[in-house]
């Protein structure tokens, strides 16, 4: 069935409203293949990869990442959504964990919400096929979020939204229906370089470009090396899982509304990490990590990261 333009406008509007009703704080639609900026972002990814700025994150090299229509045959549109994970519940603990990972596993939260939207699509647009993508899918995520108008890619490479800052994780639905796209978002970073200037390891080597092997988050979450390099180690300042420095200093994050739903609340053990955590056996770590994104960091890596903060080998 071919929908008249009035119906497509209504369906597009209702789809975004459904996303907000599911608990997302922002939702936008982009057409595939997108504007010229998608090609520019794809070229930027290729330069980043060719310079080996992704270090050992070899999955970033997936060819599918450069072609969204390879993820779903007949792809015409993409719905981009953002989930606000920032909680008002903060810890004064020396050992720090990235805010995105302190609550429940956001992959599961976002997937469940998108699945509910998928059920709605099945009823409302029955001839539309769809595919859910969270950040484990080979998708140029932030570029498509920007194309969908829900924010812009900041100089720290995070997606920023005027109302919600950068404290959001992203989700996507690729659709086989030509919907009405939103206007791509323009960058509002201007001349501000606070994130670049505040990174203690100078990992943001130029606006929008992160050199992973200089990034604290990379070394505490992704790196499987037995020891943390000296230049990173001396700048950890308590970070044992991730790093929020370039987001904490961003002016767009100063007035963000909190999400105090139970699923975003920091786990008690995260709030109370201390030197004694070095004595936890693997079974204890695995039990604590269950249901979080932090299980990506293996028990031996937690010990490595804690020891590095304490100046131990």
Per-residue pLDDT tens over the stretch 12-71? 999 999 999 999 999 999 999 999 999 888 888 889 889 888 888 887 877 777 688 889
Is the CB of residue 71 less than 8 Å from the CB of residue 138?
A: yes
Residue ranges in the chain assigned as alpha helix (H): 5-21, 36-50, 106-124, 141-147, 194-198, 216-217, 230-233, 245-248, 268-271, 282-289, 299-309
The structure tokens 């953002």 sit at: 82
* Catalytic sites, residue numbers: 135
Domain extent, residue 167, equals 5-88+104-175
Q: What would the pLDDT profile of 194-233 be if each residue is shown by its tens digit?
A: 999 999 999 999 999 999 999 999 999 999 999 999 999 9
258-274 pLDDT, tens digit per residue, is: 999 999 999 999 999 99
* Same domain membership, residue 212 and residue 154: no
Q: Does 70 share its domain with 138?
A: yes
Q: Are residues 211 and 141 in the same domain?
A: no
pLDDT-derived band at 90, boundaries 50, 70, 90: confident
Q: Which of 148, 175, 202 is at the close of a domain?
A: 175
Same domain, 133 and 209: no
**Is 14 domain-assigned?**
yes
Rounded mean pLDDT, 167-178: 97
Residues 6+ apart with CB under 8 A from 112: none
Q: Is residue 204 located within the same domain as residue 116?
A: no
146 in the same domain as 14 = yes
Last-in-domain residue among 119, 143, 175: 175
> 127-131, 132-136, 189-193 — which is least confidently predicted?
132-136
Are residues 120 and 233 located together in one domain of the fold? no
Structure tokens at 100: 């995105």
Tokens 């008690």 found at: 268
pLDDT score, position 278 = 95
Same domain, 264 and 292: yes
Number of separate domains in the chain = 2
Distance of alpha carbon 111 from alpha carbon 102, whole angstroms = 18
């Amino acid at each position: 069935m071919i929908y008249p333009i009035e119906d497509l406008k209504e369906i597009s509007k209702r789809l975004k409203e459904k996303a907000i009703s599911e608990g997302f704080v922002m939702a936008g639609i982009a057409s595939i293949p997108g504007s010229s900026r998608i090609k520019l972002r794809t070229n930027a990814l290729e330069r980043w990869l060719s310079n080996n700025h992704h270090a050992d994150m070899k999955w970033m090299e997936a060819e599918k990442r450069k072609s969204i229509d390879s993820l779903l045959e007949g792809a015409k549109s993409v719905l981009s959504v953002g989930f606000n994970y920032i909680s008002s519940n903060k810890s004064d603990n020396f050992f720090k964990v990235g805010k995105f990972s302190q609550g429940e596993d956001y992959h599961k939260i976002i997937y469940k919400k998108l699945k509910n939207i998928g059920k709605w699509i099945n009823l409302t647009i029955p001839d539309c096929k769809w595919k859910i993508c969270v950040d484990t899918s080979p998708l140029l995520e932030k570029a498509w979020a920007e194309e969908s108008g829900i924010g812009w890619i900041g100089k720290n490479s995070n997606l920023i939204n005027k109302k919600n800052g950068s404290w959001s994780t992203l989700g996507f639905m690729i659709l086989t229906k030509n919907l009405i796209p939103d206007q791509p978002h323009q960058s509002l970073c201007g001349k501000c370089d606070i994130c670049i200037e505040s990174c203690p390891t100078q990992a943001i080597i130029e606006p929008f470009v992160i050199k992973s092997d200089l990034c604290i988050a990379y070394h505490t979450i992704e790196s499987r090396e037995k020891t943390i390099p000296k230049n990173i180690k001396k700048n950890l300042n308590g970070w044992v899982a991730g790093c929020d420095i370039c987001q904490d200093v961003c002016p767009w994050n100063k007035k963000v509304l909190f999400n105090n739903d139970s699923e975003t609340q920091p786990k008690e053990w995260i709030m109370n990490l201390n030197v004694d955590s070095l004595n936890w056996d693997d079974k204890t770590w695995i039990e604590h990590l269950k249901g979080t994104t932090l299980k990506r960091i293996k028990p031996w890596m937690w010990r490595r990261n804690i020891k590095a903060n304490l100046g131990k080998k």
